[in-house]
Amino acid sequence: MKTCARCKRELPVGQFYKDRSKNDGLRIYCKRCDKAYNRANKKRISQRDFKRNHGTGLIYKNFILAAQGWKCPICGKTLEPNSSDVCLDHDHNTGEIRGVLCRACNLYIGKFGDNIIDVSKGIMKDRENQTLINAYGYLLEAF
């Protein structure tokens, strides 16, 4: 039996997640309290992860998105702040942030290697592809 540090209930040890860093090998909170804490702090955790992965916070991403009129600069799709469909676009060579794109357009540019020359070659093959033309303009503005 072990007492949860949050809800103060005495529970069987099977009601606690394992944690090798603790003396008894178990977390101090029961599984129920641990899940409730993680659910309540999901936004804080995602903010921390975003900053670690991109070097900037979600607030900065939303600032750029607002400056773009809440739209993807390539396809014009309306983007919701903090949505999983919103991607921070950056130059993989310099690390410089270019803007915020919808996931589809970010993948589309990535397919061409984030390279304005390859996008222009794609336009030469398919002159009717408006997304390619918009991607070319977007990448051209970044230079």
- Nearest 5°: phi and psi at 26? -130, 150
**89 touches 78 (CB < 8 A):** no
pLDDT at residue 143, as a whole number: 54
Residues of the chain with CATH 3.40.1800.10: 43-142
Class of domain 43-142: alpha beta
pTM of the complete model? 0.57
The pLDDT tens digits for 45-80 are 566 776 777 677 778 888 889 999 999 998 889 998
The pLDDT tens digits for 99-134 are 899 988 888 888 877 767 777 777 667 677 777 778
What are the beta bridge partners of residue 26?
A: 18
Residues 12-38 have a mean pLDDT of 93
